[in-house]
Amino acid sequence: MIDYNNKMERLNGEFRDREKVVRGLKKEDSSLISGYQIFHNYIRPHTGLDGKTPSEMCGIIIKGTNKWQTLIQNASKIV
């Protein structure tokens, strides 16, 4: 069984560390929260996952040298 609580605590801890130095998170609809979730799940490699991202572990591969750009381009095609 995978311990999802530890993974969520890890994400929350990383976000709290980032939140300390960023201004403007007083609003509930801040785009920084969504952006950090995307970074955590699709771009940032995790040592606990042997250097892979959570999305790669699920079989979602983001190709290209600039993963942010690829994600934005793919998202704009969906609309």
Supply the mean pLDDT for the chain.
Answer: 78
pLDDT range class, residue 46, cuts 50, 70, 90: confident
Residue for token pair 């995307």: 38
What does the DSSP 8-state code read for residue 49? G
Give helix 31-38 / helix 4-19 axis angle, nearest 10°: 130
Residue for token pair 């403007």: 24
Q: Is the pLDDT of residue 54 over 70?
A: yes
DSSP-based three-state secondary structure for 46: strand
Q: Which of 6-10, 24-28, 36-40 has the highest mean pLDDT?
A: 36-40
| pLDDT score of 1 | 46
Q: Rounded distance, CA 66 to CA 56, Å?
A: 16
